[in-house]
Amino acid sequence: MAEPRAEVVIDLDAVRANVARLVELAGPAETMVVVKADGYGHGAVEVGRAALEAGASWLGTAALAEALQLRAAGIDAPVLCWLDAVGTDMRAAADAGIDVSVSTVEQLKAASGARLHLKVDTGLGRSGCPAALWPELVRAAAESGERVHAIWSHLACADVPGHPSIDAQAERFARAYGEALVAGLEPRRHIANSAATLTRPDLRFDMVRTGIAGYGLNPVPGGESLTPAMTFRSSVVSVKEIAAGESVSYGHTWTAERDTRLALVPVGYADGVPRLLSGRFSVLLNGERRPVRGRVCMDQIAVECDAATRPGDEVVLFGPGTRGEPTATEWAETIGTIDYEIVTGMYRSRVSRAYRGRR
Ligand SMILES: *Cc1c(COP(=O)(O)O)cnc(C)c1O
């Protein structure tokens, strides 16, 4: 097989270390590791296994299909999925032993045997039962005879510690819990994402649901040191010299002030390098940060290099930062997004994925 043009390398030892730290922080609450969107672009099955080895006891997904993929790979730990299309086959969830989320009485009626987590909207304004309808939902759930494992909710601003909405959501969650008890349920509770797990011990309840932190990216500035698990690498395909005054790439946005050596690297915006980074980023090439010149194209970038650079030399686009390479967080900050979007966007057909660390 030909060398891949580019690959993401996932360090499963880093995932295990991050998850072990989260499990330790969360205890005695259980830890669910969220592996939606193919494990935030890291590989749901591989990350799921590593997370369970590191002490997580649950996995979480958005779509039922993602949860079924874990079962198909032989993962038999508890799995919750929480967001699905109309007409989702709830029987398939029940048959596979997958817990599902329910936000309405209609969904409750369709549940057909899968264990349930009732979701209350405490202020995110997305899915979840509105507070006004909650007493009716918990009453219907209690009367239905369906198994209700937990009530749960999701926070809007946990990544801004001290944001007033966090306490407001916590208060509404407490009220919703009281109403569930009144209805005769004895549910567990979960509301904390990574940011809340790291900053709000009082919100860990019976389980935390950590996503991004397990992948080594910290949603709250400073604090816990985690190890980013994903490295995005490629290699030089060719090297050439251009004369002073010549320009590079579409739009000629960059012009060489002196004779310049350029290394061509076969990754572009089709491979997950945001075009918005054009003119604003560098890569690690032979141990040095080297600027990328001109616009990011669909399939390639041009990196300023020195006379020692050769075809085949490794180029690290982002990684944990330990060798001086950029991080996904640095990319995100440069273009005004979050690192979640950078890593989750890295699952692309032209970029292969490899694993490092014990599998
Ligand atoms: C994605 C998600 C999480 C994980 O969030 P992080 O910020 O990545 O920790 C937790 N709960 C729900 C409902 C989610 O959709």
Sign of the dihedral defined by the CA atoms of residues 288, 293, 297, 301, in that order: negative
Active site residue 250: yes
- Does residue 357 register a pLDDT over 90? no
Q: How many domains does the chain have?
A: 2
Predicted TM-score of the model (pTM):
0.96
Q: Domain with 299 in it: what CATH number?
A: 2.40.37.10
Residues 88, 202 share a domain: yes
Q: How far, in Å, from the CA of 210 to the mean position of ligand 1?
A: 6
Kindly state whether residues 22 and 122 are assigned to the same domain: yes
The mean pLDDT value for 203-220 works out to 97
Mean pLDDT, rounded, for 45-70: 97
Which is the catalytic residue, given 36, 177, 340, 355? 36
The pLDDT of residue 1 is 45
Please check whether residues 163 and 234 belong to one and the same domain. no
**Residue 64 Cα distances to 30, 61, 121, angstroms:** 22, 7, 21
- Asked if the structure places residue 288 within a domain, the reply is yes
pLDDT in tens, 109-136: 988 899 999 999 999 998 899 999 999 9
109, 181: one domain:
yes
Judge if 20 and 151 occupy the same domain.
yes
The residue whose CA has the least distance to atom 6 of ligand 1 is 211
Q: How far is the CA of 155 from the centre of ligand 1 (A)?
A: 9
pLDDT tens, residue by residue, 146-190: 999 999 999 999 999 999 999 999 999 999 999 999 999 999 999
* pLDDT at position 26: 97
289 in the same domain as 186: no
What's the CA-to-centroid distance between 292 and ligand 1, angstroms? 34
| Percent of the chain scoring above 90 in pLDDT | 91
Whether residue 205 is found in the same domain as residue 252: no
Tokens coding 213: 């932190």
Confidence of residue 3 (pLDDT cuts 50, 70, 90): low
Give the closest residue (by CA) to ligand 1 atom 13.
Answer: 154
**Same domain, yes or no: 197 and 241:** no
Cα separations in angstroms, 194 against 32, 89, 109, 213, 342: 10, 30, 32, 6, 17
- Distance between CA atoms of 171 and 38, rounded to whole angstroms? 33
Among 182, 215, 248, the domain boundary falls at 215
Helices (H), the chain: 12-26, 36-40, 44-53, 64-72, 90-95, 105-110, 134-144, 164-182, 194-199, 328-335, 339-344
pLDDT of residue 2: 58
Domain assignment present for residue 4? The answer is no
Q: How far apart are CA 350 and CA 283, in angstroms?
A: 20
Domain that holds residue 203: 12-215
